[in-house]
Amino acid sequence: MAEHKEFEEKEYSTQFNMTIWKKILQYGRSLYPVIGVLIVIMIGVAVLDGIFPQMTRYAIDTLIPAYNSPGYTRRVASFILNYGLLALLQGFNVWALIMVAGIIEVRLCHALRKAAFERLQQLSFSYYDRTPAGWIIARMTSDAQKLGDTIAWGIVDLVWGATMMLTIIIFMIVMHPLLASVTLLFVPPLLMVTFWFQKKILETQRKSRKANSLVTGVFNEGLQGARTSKALSIEPHNCRDFAVKTEHLRDYAIRAAKLSALYLPLVMVLASIGAAIALGTGGRYLLQGLISFGTLVAFINYAMMFFDPAREVARVLSEFQAAQASAERLVGLIETAPEIIDKPGAVADSLIHGEVLLDHVTFRYSPQGPWIFKDFSLHIPAGQTLAVVGETGCGKSTLVNVICRFYEPESGTILIDGLDYRERTQYWLHSQLGYVLQTPLLFSGTVRENIRYGRLDATEEDIITAARDANALDFIEKLEHGLDTLVGEGGALLSVGQKQLISIARALVANPRIIILDEATSSVDTETEMLIQGAITRLLAGRTSIVIAHRLSTIRQADRIILLDKGKIIEDGNHASLMNLHGAYWKLYTQQFLDEASYLEASGA
């Protein structure tokens, strides 16, 4: 329970953490000049936005009074031309800002994903064991995206908003300092209201998002558990439960909507007070001849323009704060150190012969955790088929984990062909290892691609041979596109039995010297079961094989069986000798394997 807590969504950091942002920007180092360009463009956009009311002012104050002077029409024409040119310039600016900000967003997201994925390929199994897959996927997809988005468009809105406010203030002061100081009185309360609301709005939105993901979870459960609910006849109970969850979501969502609904009118009124002051006071100045018509109009325009940039700045700042959690999580992933790394000078020199020796191995999953193996020794001669049996938690899977070097022993050594495997690279071992999983996992793509996964340079002939040896060719040929049939995500379009056969073919095409087989317990129909057993027999022949066995036939065929209990070998021998002992193996066999196996045999005979 405790280890899951750290993965609970932490969405908000109150402290602004500069180091995290620096680290994130490290991945966009090549983008620094581009960011500089973006800032310049945004300043340009904001200044131009501020200049357009000045153009109107010029028209009113300078052009109009000269209407009966010679060349008036020409002046108007050149004014319109200039206005048009400025419009063109602004259009170009907008184009450039979207291009540049887009490039930053995309490249940063691309770089972050790349760095994170590369790290994922190096991370040790211990990381995967304690990290839920969904958590990792969320970091890779939504967090990376959110960061690219927040940084690129955050810069846009922040620079624009700040420059715009500054431009407005400067123009106002230049036009008439006194009127400016009166008009701008509304700015401090506007900023205060804006910042308070943006923070609140973000907070409630977060709450409603959380309620939303809860609803999604319950929907998911409602779908997956619908048949069980039906059997238990608890549909009304479920519906009531669900209605409570959607009520929460609705309430949070309405609360967030209320805040937003309140904010905009409020700042509009605040801004209008500024404009009203400009109108009242400015109008008086106008009558007194202190300012021109154009200036009055510009003041009113500027006052009403002010709240837009203010809102943008406040929004971006709170978004940065929210995105910081994403940044922390992603940086956390990228900076996780892999626990197993190749020694400097590790070699990948030879072909594996297949002898495995565990010499006084001790192992536990975490420094505080319980010991799985203490002083464990086991010698597997090359070519031997070893079946490992025992109750859940006896150390079967751990044995496979350390032999495959998914984990390394705390003390003691594992020697392959007489040499400590830490003297070789991980690639050396894994490229000569075959691994067939309890729950067969295929990758989306064609059947051929999945088999070729075992050996990338396998020829068409190799693939067909492997498929045939795995008893998979018959059903593959019956598929609509044969070997080119798509298997769907995770192999979802195939049956469990078919997936198992293909995963055996995948191991066969690799032609490894050592094979690890984690047998499935799931029941497939009798016919498929026979096919799988035949395929397994061919897979294990002539290779060093370590089998976590669940099938009677596999156990019987094994050269040697070891029975594990709490990390110790308590019985060691072949089937006949162990049955004669009438000990723990006999008991396990009669209690666990027999029912399943004889049932299958009775069905199939």
Partner 1 sequence: MSDHSKTLYSIQKNSWPRFGRISLLWNALQGWRLLYVAGLLAIIGEVLFTFSSPMVVKITIDSVIGTSPPAIQMPIKAVVEPLLGKNFSGGGLIPLPESAVVAGADENSQWIWRPWLRSHLWVMGLAFVCMILLQALFSFIAALCINTAAEEAAKRLRDRLYHHIQYLPYETLLRSQTGDWLQRCTSDVDTVRRFIAFEFVELFRTLTLVGFAFPIMLSLSGTLTLWGSIVMPIILGFSFFFQRIVERLFLIADEREGILSGIVQENVTGVRVVRAFARQQYELERFAKANTNVRDQVYKLITWLAFYWGFSSFLGLLQIALLLGAGLQLYTAGTITLGLLILFLTYEQQVLWPVRQFGRILADTGKTRVALGRIAELLVLEKERDLDYDIKNDSFIAQPDFSASSIEFRDVSFTYPDGTEVLKHISFTVNPGEHLAIVGPTGSGKSTLVHLLLRFYEPTDGTIFIGGRDIRTIPKKELRNRISIVLQDSFLYGKTVRENILIGYPDVGETGLIEAAKKAAFHHVALGFQDGYETMVGERGVTLSGGQRQRLALARALLRQSPILVLDDSLSAVDTETDRLIREAIGNGSQGVKNTGPATTTIIIAHRLTTLAEADTILVLEAGRITGMGSHDKLIQQPGFYQRLATLQSAVHEM
Between 86 and 346, whose beta carbon lies closer to partner 1? 86
Between 568 and 575, whose beta carbon lies closer to partner 1? 575
Closest distance between partner 1 and the C-beta of residue 360, in Å? 25
How many whole angstroms separate alpha carbon 403 and alpha carbon 409? Answer: 9
For partner 1, the binding residues in 399-418 under the rule CB under 8 A are 404, 406
Closest distance between partner 1 and the C-beta of residue 186, in Å? 11
Using CA atoms, how far residue 404 sits from 141, 260, 467, 516, in Å, is: 30, 56, 25, 8
DSSP symbols for 63-94: IGGGTTSTTHHHHHHHHHHHHHHHHHHHHHHH
Between 189 and 604, whose beta carbon lies closer to partner 1? 604
Between 16 and 72, whose beta carbon lies closer to partner 1? 72
Choosing from 269, 337, 347, 541, the residue that interacts with partner 1 (CB under 8 A) is 269
Closest distance between partner 1 and the C-beta of residue 102, in Å? 3
Q: Is 436 left (phi over 0), alpha (psi -120 to 50) or beta?
A: beta
Are 249 and 242 within 8 A, CB to CB? no
Between 91 and 381, whose beta carbon lies closer to partner 1? 91
Interface with partner 1 (CB under 8 A), residue total: 157
Q: Is 336 left (phi over 0), alpha (psi -120 to 50) or beta?
A: beta
Instruction: Give the range of 162-170, 175-183, 209-217, 478-486 binding partner 1 by CB under 8 A.
Output: 209-217
Using CA atoms, how far residue 341 sits from 121, 346, 359, 425, in Å, is: 12, 10, 21, 8
C-alpha closest to that of 218 among 189, 248, 263: 248
Closest distance between partner 1 and the C-beta of residue 380, in Å? 17
Q: Is residue 26 a contact residue for partner 1 (CB under 8 A)? A: no
Between 482 and 490, whose beta carbon lies closer to partner 1? 490
For partner 1, the binding residues in 466-495 under the rule CB under 8 A are 489-490
Are 42 and 156 within 8 A, CB to CB? yes
Closest distance between partner 1 and the C-beta of residue 432, in Å? 9
Residues β-bridged to residue 388: 548, 562
Q: Is 10 buried (19+), middle (13-18) or exposed (0-12) by CB count in 10 A?
A: exposed
Q: Is residue 365 a contact residue for partner 1 (CB under 8 A)? A: no
Choosing from 39, 47, 51, 59, the residue that interacts with partner 1 (CB under 8 A) is 59
DSSP 3-state percent helix, strand, coil across the chain (nearest 5): 70, 10, 20
For partner 1, the binding residues in 74-133 under the rule CB under 8 A are 76-77, 79-80, 83-84, 86-88, 90-99, 102-103, 105-107, 109-110, 113-114, 117-118, 120-122, 125, 128, 132-133
Closest distance between partner 1 and the C-beta of residue 361, in Å? 20
Choosing from 17, 229, 321, 533, the residue that interacts with partner 1 (CB under 8 A) is 229
How many whole angstroms separate alpha carbon 143 and alpha carbon 145? Answer: 5
Are 274 and 168 within 8 A, CB to CB? no
Between 459 and 580, whose beta carbon lies closer to partner 1? 580
Closest distance between partner 1 and the C-beta of residue 518, in Å? 9
Closest distance between partner 1 and the C-beta of residue 139, in Å? 9
Between 48 and 325, whose beta carbon lies closer to partner 1? 48
Assigned token pair, 172: 């106002």
Between 339 and 477, whose beta carbon lies closer to partner 1? 339
For partner 1, the binding residues in 164-203 under the rule CB under 8 A are none
Choosing from 42, 175, 297, 414, the residue that interacts with partner 1 (CB under 8 A) is 297
Spell out, one character per residue from 128 to 157, where the chain touches partner 1: x when CB under 8 A holds, - when not: x---xx--xx--xx----------------
Q: Is residue 347 a contact residue for partner 1 (CB under 8 A)? A: no
Q: Is residue 581 a contact residue for partner 1 (CB under 8 A)? A: no
**E strand or H helix at 356:** strand 356-364
Q: Is residue 375 a contact residue for partner 1 (CB under 8 A)? A: no
C-alpha closest to that of 438 among 499, 490, 389: 499
How many whole angstroms separate alpha carbon 258 and alpha carbon 263? Answer: 9
Choosing from 163, 426, 498, 557, the residue that interacts with partner 1 (CB under 8 A) is 426
C-alpha closest to that of 544 among 403, 401, 340, 343: 403
Q: Is residue 288 a contact residue for partner 1 (CB under 8 A)? A: no
C-alpha closest to that of 333 among 600, 77, 543, 140: 140
DSSP symbols for 457-472: T--HHHHHHHHHHTT-
